[in-house]
Amino acid sequence: MAAPPAVAWSAPAAAAWLQYLVPLLGGAGSLAFLFAVPGPRHPLLVAAVAGTAVASLALGVGLRLIERRTARRARRRERSRYLAHLAQMAAAADHLAAAQLAAADHLHPDPPRLWALVCRAERLWERRPADDDFLTVRVGRGPVPLHTPVRLDTAGGPLVERDAELLAAAETLARRAGCLPQAPVTVPLRRLGVLALTGPRDRIRALARALLCQLAALHAPEDLRILAAFPPAALPAWEWLKWLPHTRDPAAGTGGMPGCLLAETPAQLAALLDREVRPRLTAPAAGPPLPHLLAVLELDPPRRGAHGPLLDELLDRAAGAGATVIWLARDPASEPSELAARLLLDEHGTAAFQETAPGGRRIDAIRADDAGVAVCEAVARKLAPLRLDRQPAAVPAGPVRPARPARRRRPPGPAHARGHPPRGARGHPPGGARGHPPRGARGHLAHAPPSPGGDPAPARTAAGPAGVRPGGAPLLLDPKEGRGRHRPLPDL
Dump strand ranges (E) for 246-337: 248-254, 257-260, 262-263, 292-297, 323-329
Among 42, 75, 107, the domain boundary falls at 107
Closest CA to 464 of 241, 258, 262, 260: 258
Among 65, 83, 107, the domain boundary falls at 107
Domain shared by 238 and 365, yes or no: yes
Do the domain assignments include residue 437?
A: no
**Res. 388 pLDDT band, cuts 50 70 90:** confident
Domain shared by 256 and 359, yes or no: yes
Do the domain assignments include residue 152?
A: no
Q: Which residues, at least 6 apart from 342, have a Cβ–Cβ distance to it below 8 Å?
A: 195, 196, 197, 198, 332, 335, 353, 354, 356
Domain shared by 199 and 94, yes or no: no
Measured in whole angstroms, the distance separating CA 404 from the mean position of its chain's CA atoms is 45
Do the domain assignments include residue 129?
A: no
pLDDT digits (tens, 9 = 90+) for 75-93: 888 888 888 989 999 999 9
Among 49, 79, 107, the domain boundary falls at 107
- Amino acid letter, residue 436: H
Domain shared by 190 and 287, yes or no: yes
Q: What is the pLDDT of residue 178?
A: 84
**Res. 11 pLDDT band, cuts 50 70 90:** low
Q: What is the mean pLDDT of the chain?
A: 77
Q: What is the pLDDT of residue 344?
A: 96
Domain of 195, CATH number, reads 3.40.50.300
d(Cα 304, Cα 306) in Å, to the nearest integer? 5
Do the domain assignments include residue 168?
A: no
Query: Beta 464-468 vs 445-447: how paired, if at all?
Result: unpaired
Domain shared by 232 and 103, yes or no: no
Q: How far is CA 356 from CA 95, 144, 337, 362, 375, in A?
A: 34, 19, 10, 9, 33
Please state the rounded mean pLDDT for residues 30-47: 68
Helix (H) or strand (E) holding 19: helix 13-36
Query: 3-class DSSP state for residue 373?
Result: helix
pLDDT digits (tens, 9 = 90+) for 255-307: 545 688 999 988 899 999 998 888 888 866 556 788 999 999 998 765 656 67
Q: Are 232 and 302 in contact (CB under 8 A)?
A: no
Give me the DSSP letters along 301-324: S-STTSS-HHHHHHHHHTTTTTEE
pLDDT digits (tens, 9 = 90+) for 409-425: 444 444 444 444 444 44
Q: How far is CA 370 from CA 6, 106, 112, 204, 351, in A?
A: 51, 18, 10, 9, 12
What's the total number of domains in the chain?
Answer: 2
pLDDT digits (tens, 9 = 90+) for 328-338: 999 998 898 88
d(Cα 245, Cα 259) in Å, to the nearest integer? 11
Q: Are 455 and 376 in contact (CB under 8 A)?
A: no
Do the domain assignments include residue 408?
A: no
Q: Residue 91: which domain range?
A: 13-107
Query: 3-class DSSP state for residue 267?
Result: helix
